[in-house]
């Protein structure tokens, strides 16, 4: 089945700097790669996703890149703000709806 690994587990950046979170997956047949943001006391919220027919997707300060050959995808957040502080999860489809990485706790220091 699908296995998703996510790094780093924690990340601290200064406000205004960029943050990058990386994930690898094992199933070469996977074709959909979402990223979720979870704030304290809330459920995960989809922030961006990418399908296997494109290599990059951007939405304002957030971008996701996909390298199918290497089986890894990354989340890039530019000009970080304090409200970006949260736990971020990557995921890929497996035999279940989604298999999630273990999460990255991002702290943006003002």
Using rule CB under 8 A, residue 93 touches other proteins: yes
Distance (Å, rounded) from C-alpha 72 to C-alpha 5?
9
Using CB atoms within 10 Å of the CB of residue 101, give its burial: 0 to 12 exposed, 13 to 18 middle, 19+ buried.
buried
Using rule CB under 8 A, residue 103 touches other proteins: yes
Distance (Å, rounded) from C-alpha 44 to C-alpha 68?
25
Of the residues 40, 43, 60, 70, which one makes contact with other proteins according to CB under 8 A: 43
Of the residues 40, 70, 97, 110, which one makes contact with other proteins according to CB under 8 A: 97
Tokens 């089945």 -> residue: 1
Of the residues 14, 41, 83, 110, which one makes contact with other proteins according to CB under 8 A: 41
Using rule CB under 8 A, residue 85 touches other proteins: no
Classify strands 104-109 and 10-14 as parallel, antiparallel or unpaired. parallel
| Chain contacts with other proteins (rule: CB under 8 A) | 31-32, 34, 36, 41-46, 49, 51-53, 89, 93, 95-103
């Amino acid at each position: 089945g699908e296995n998703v690994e996510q790094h780093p587990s924690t990340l601290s950046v200064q406000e205004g700097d960029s943050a990058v979170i990386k994930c690898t997956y094992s199933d070469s047949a996977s074709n959909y790669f979402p990223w979720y943001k979870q704030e304290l006391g809330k459920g995960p919220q989809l922030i961006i996703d990418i399908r296997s027919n494109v290599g990059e997707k951007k939405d304002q300060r957030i971008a996701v890149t996909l390298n199918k050959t290497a089986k890894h995808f990354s989340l890039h957040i530019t000009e970080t703000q304090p409200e970006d502080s949260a736990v971020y999860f990557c995921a890929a489809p497996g035999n279940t709806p989604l298999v999630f990485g273990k999460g990255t706790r991002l702290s943006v220091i003002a």
